Structure 1
């Protein structure tokens, strides 16, 4: 590992640019993050390459990939900047004046459960912050976090690669929903009736082995998935007037509690609750704006 003494005499602003480039791996996103022009970031990278006598970031398959030397420098650089920010205090970051676009990945579940309160907070406290929200599978979200294509991913990530950090936002459990017409007077289904019904699955892929399937397999059962769709929001409405059953995260059904057509009830078997988290690359951990956004998301998640 190269000692940080090698960085003496280098303009601190250049090191801030290098830290952001290594996190973003993209000139335009780095420019947006640091509120700089793209030519200024490109010029800073050219100076850094001269100073280190190394390409630092190499263009490959349409993105910038860190060189071996950059990988060696990165941990010490991030730690040094983190310590400097602690010494200098939060005075350099003001959410009311911040102008930046954050790229966040979430399903329409989080868009319904978390985003409304988050947007209200942002408009009041940080009106210059823009959000660009996209969606993918769990694996796709983590890949984009690792590649630097997004700042944060919100979801369920039981298996996560190295260099990904997470924070639990809340613990969620499951509920079932079905049309009241085919249910008994108690408004629910026993195990035999549950297994006899066709089911709707909300997932990005029809071949997903979900927590629900794993819980059923553990007690020796399987269910028939008659419909798979990628959207949480529309799923309950599609149940109306059918014999389908939807087993889904409970908070996604909060808007159906007073629906006269649909009944919400407990699953007839035990499904372990799951941890809903926000995930980010460790290199973004000490960025003050990123830290502020994570705290804002955690705060609004406490009340969902």
Structure 2
């Protein structure tokens, strides 16, 4: 009997689930199978591919290098099967399953509320997971299928990924109305020297996204606080005599004072991106179309 005759789709689905979950119990739960059944399928897969595929660790499995390479082809094959069996017309109200979105703190505030409202209204059986954007793990998460869609800024996304531009954004210099700088008309040099708070959600450091813009004028910012997300910066501004540069769409109803500048920072795009493997997936295309409605 040839190797291909010893394979079936269920075994490949078990392999896919094990790669994603790296835990037999979680994979079994996802597939609606017993853990023993998952182990039996894994045993057959090991025999077919002549590789251990997964090595045990304290709380689950870790894939072998061969399994990681094999996964790319298996995942594509299963998606092709899924597309083959999909109805000719896409009906959002009949869709079930889980869709995972990785979004920056900013996107969670500005983009997702409206998107989630549309998804809940038009596809009530679809479950959604929103997770924080992890720039260092993004490619692995999207390649393994643990994240379906990413919403962030262009610099955060691999060049090989398909993207759609959602809108153009710009930074605004803000402070608490009680801050001393709010009572004056500062020069750009004075703004650079003023104590500044940045949001650095991807990496904890004192480097901000507009540092290069200040360098054009021979200036370096006086950054004194690095926060993990945009949402906490307004609270820090209220309790410190400092400034921050925040995206304009995240400032509604925060009670902050805009500091007028001699020059305006460069504008930037907010985008959505996905792994190339899912470009033809009907659900993926539909979710992206909802995002594009407000371009």
Work out whether 1:271 is the aligned partner of 2:265.
yes
- For structure 2, the 5+ residue unaligned runs are none
Q: Is 1:37 aligned with 2:37?
A: no
Contact 2:20 2:146 in 1 (8 A): no
Structure-2 residue corresponding to 1:194: 191
Equivalenced residue count is 290
CA distance in 2, matches of 1:11, 1:124: 37
- Structure 1: stretches of 5+ with no match in the other structure: none
CA–CA distance in structure 1, aligned partners of residues 279 and 3 of structure 2? 22
CA distances 1:129-177 after superposition (whole Å, capped 9, x unpaired): 3334343653255565567665544333626569x73524434321222
Q: How far, CA to CA, are the matches of 2:34 and 2:152 in structure 1?
A: 32
Residue in structure 1 matched with residue 233 of structure 2 by the alignment: 235
Q: Tell me: CA distance 1:15–1:147, structure 2 relative to 1, closer, same or farther (3 Å).
A: closer
Confirm or deny that 1:300 pairs with 2:294. Answer: no
**Structure 2 Cα separation of the partners of residues 150 and 238 of structure 1:** 32
CA contact (8 A) 2:163 2:274 kept: no
What TM-score does the superposition give when structure 2 sets the normalisation length?
A: 0.74
Aligned counterparts of 1:69 and 1:113: Cα–Cα separation in 2: 41
2:198/2:208 contact within 8 Å kept? no
Query: What's the Cα RMSD here?
Result: 4.0
Q: Confirm or deny: 8 A CA contact 1:188 1:263 kept in the other structure.
A: no
Superposed CA offset, 1:58-87 (max 9, x none): 335755443344345444434433443444
Report deviation, 1:6: 4.8
Q: 1:251 maps to what in 2?
A: 249
Contact 1:172 1:276 in 2 (8 A): yes
Whether 2:163 is the aligned partner of 1:167: answer yes
- CA distance in 2 between partners of 1:235 and 1:139 (Å): 23
The change in CA–CA distance for 1:129 and 1:85 in structure 2 (over 3 A counts) is closer
TM-score w.r.t. the length of structure 1 is 0.72
